[in-house]
Amino acid sequence: MAGIYIHIPFCRQMCYYCDFHFSVSLKRKEELLQALLIEIETRNDYLKNEEIETIYFGGGTPSILKINELDQILELIYKLYSVSKNPEITLEANPDDLSIDYLNGLKQIGINRLSIGIQSFEDKHLKQLNRRHDAREAINSVKNSQEAGFNNINIDLIYGLPGLTNKNWEENLRNALNLSIQHISAYHLSIEHKTVLANFLKKGKIKQLEEKESLNQFNTLVKKTEEQGFLHYEISNFSKDGYFSKHNINYWLQEKYLGIGPSAHSYDYKTRRWNISNNAKYIELINKNESYSETEILSLSEKYNDYILTSLRTVWGADLEKISREFGKGFHDECLKEAEKYIISGQITDTNNRLIISKKGKFIADKIASDLFIVD
């Protein structure tokens, strides 16, 4: 099982919180598309003929591409890779791009999962984040998607925003849950270095939410989604039965993936590789047939730490047998030893040889994982 990720590094506007790789200048879109096609062609041995089960257009804003541009990419992948019979093909989309015509086009070229970046259903907060859409457009984008026949829809939401009260957040969740969607990804706002929000914070224009408030909002999220039949299958991800993101599960369980485009990462069990995060240089180097990426050979403990970090965030937890088998008895014993205090405090359960973070431990999952890390 393997997946392909394609990074579309363009956005129409810069959101104040975002530090993903993108450019708001679309001048080189055509050239970049050609470079993506070259990368798809030249790296087709990376996954060694493994069956491709998932294809994911992420960004940036993939919905900036025209239907025929997305189709060109998909056609080349189908031509050069062995794509499974029913792959999951996801497109991250911004609400303001989702007209009925565009959605019909997406459906026609085989996109079968949408991940819509809604972030908030409140105009005040959408403005605070410098989003292009308003709450009405957010709701309409989901309704249009459903009308076009999409039945596997995720929406992204952000909580923990400056000034967001628990009541506001509940209202956001009510809006989301009224939309009959299959999946919600809800992230706590992270104020990233060099973003506009970081600058606002420095100047005292905004205040970070208190940890107690953030925890309240996380608990509300877990409770409200659970009441509506969503399974909390990863710290930030909630899904109706059968609608997990296969592509992301692939990452969390450390299956192979090929990342295409500037800033995209790839993983082949042994190495991690990342492409240059600069559109102009990516285009130039690809055209000159020169290297545009760096590669790191992973040590056993790095692989183990990655596994702990991602698996502990999921409902399936960390598999102790797998740890013994793939990393050795030393890693297994050390892991159990470090986990003991959390087992005693009830923040981790040891169920059927799997370490699973309990409800009580979920909000501090990353801290727990880092305590279980092994440093060479």
Answer for which of 117, 261, 262, 317 binds ligand SAM (CB under 6 A) is: 117
Answer for which of 117, 160, 262, 317 binds ligand SF4 (CB under 6 A) is: 117
CA angle 138, 142, 147 (to 5 degrees): 140
Taking CB under 6 A as the rule, does residue 18 contact ligand SF4? yes
Answer for which of 6, 7, 22, 122 binds ligand SF4 (CB under 6 A) is: 22
Q: Which is nearer to ligand SF4, 14 or 100 (CB)?
A: 14
Instruction: Give which of ligand SF4, ligand SAM, none residue 14 binds (C-beta under 5 to 8 Å, depending on kind).
Output: ligand SF4
> 96 and 117 in contact (C-beta within 8 Å)?
no
Q: Which is nearer to ligand SAM, 195 or 324 (CB)?
A: 195
Q: Based on C-alpha coordinates, what's the Rg of the chain?
A: 21
Q: Which amino acid is at 157?
A: L
List the interface residues with ligand SF4, window 62-101 (CB under 6 A): 94
Q: Whole-number minimum distance, CB 49 to ligand SAM, in Å?
A: 30
Q: What is the DSSP letter of 270?
A: S
Mask for 215-254, x = binds ligand SAM (CB under 6 A): ----------------------------------------
Instruction: Give which of ligand SF4, ligand SAM, none residue 261 binds (C-beta under 5 to 8 Å, depending on kind).
Output: none
| Residue at token pair 């459903």 | 146
List the interface residues with ligand SAM, window 265-294 (CB under 6 A): none
Distance (Å, whole) CA 289 – CA 140: 44
The token pair that represents 30 in the structure block: 């055509």
Give the three-state DSSP class for 106. helix
Taking CB under 6 A as the rule, does residue 115 contact ligand SF4? no
Instruction: Give which of ligand SAM, ligand SF4, none residue 189 binds (C-beta under 5 to 8 Å, depending on kind).
Output: ligand SAM
Q: Which residues contact 242 (CB under 8 A, 6 or more apart)?
A: none
Q: Whole-number minimum distance, CB 197 to ligand SF4, in Å?
A: 12
Mask for 174-193, x = binds ligand SAM (CB under 6 A): -------------x-xx-x-
Q: Which is nearer to ligand SAM, 79 or 124 (CB)?
A: 124
Distance (Å, whole) CA 172 – CA 369: 30
Taking CB under 6 A as the rule, does residue 119 contact ligand SAM? yes
Distance (Å, whole) CA 215 – CA 3: 34
Closest residue by beta carbon to ligand SAM: 117
Q: Whole-number minimum distance, CB 317 to ligand SF4, in Å?
A: 30
Alpha helix segments (H runs only) across the chain: 29-42, 67-80, 100-108, 123-128, 135-147, 166-177, 196-202, 211-227, 246-252, 279-287, 300-311, 320-327, 329-345, 365-372
Kindly determine how many residues on this chain lie close enough to bind ligand SF4 according to the rule CB under 6 A.
11
Taking CB under 6 A as the rule, does residue 141 contact ligand SAM? no
Q: Which is nearer to ligand SAM, 150 or 331 (CB)?
A: 150
Strand partners, 296: 272
Q: Which residues contact 341 (CB under 8 A, 6 or more apart)?
A: none
Of 47, 12, 27, the C-alpha closest to 257 is 47
Q: Whole-number minimum distance, CB 74 to ligand SAM, in Å?
A: 19
Question: Taking contact as CB under 6 A, which single stretch among the options 9-17, 204-212, 258-266, 279-287 is the one that binds ligand SF4?
Answer: 9-17
Cis (ω within 30 of 0) for the bond into 261?
no
Give the up-direction half-sphere exposure of residue 348: CA atoms within 13 A in the CB hemisphere.
32
- Strand extents, DSSP E, the chain: 2-8, 52-59, 83-93, 113-119, 153-159, 183-188, 231-234, 237-239, 256-260, 265-267, 271-275, 293-297, 318-319, 348-351, 354-357
Taking CB under 6 A as the rule, does residue 59 contact ligand SAM? yes
Q: Whole-number minimum distance, CB 24 to ligand SF4, in Å?
A: 8
Q: Whole-number minimum distance, CB 348 to ligand SF4, in Å?
A: 33
In terms of C-beta distances under 8 Å and separation of at least 24 residues, what long-range contacts does 199-203 make, across chains too?
200/16
Chain contacts with ligand SF4 (rule: CB under 6 A): 11, 14-15, 18, 20, 22, 59-61, 94, 117
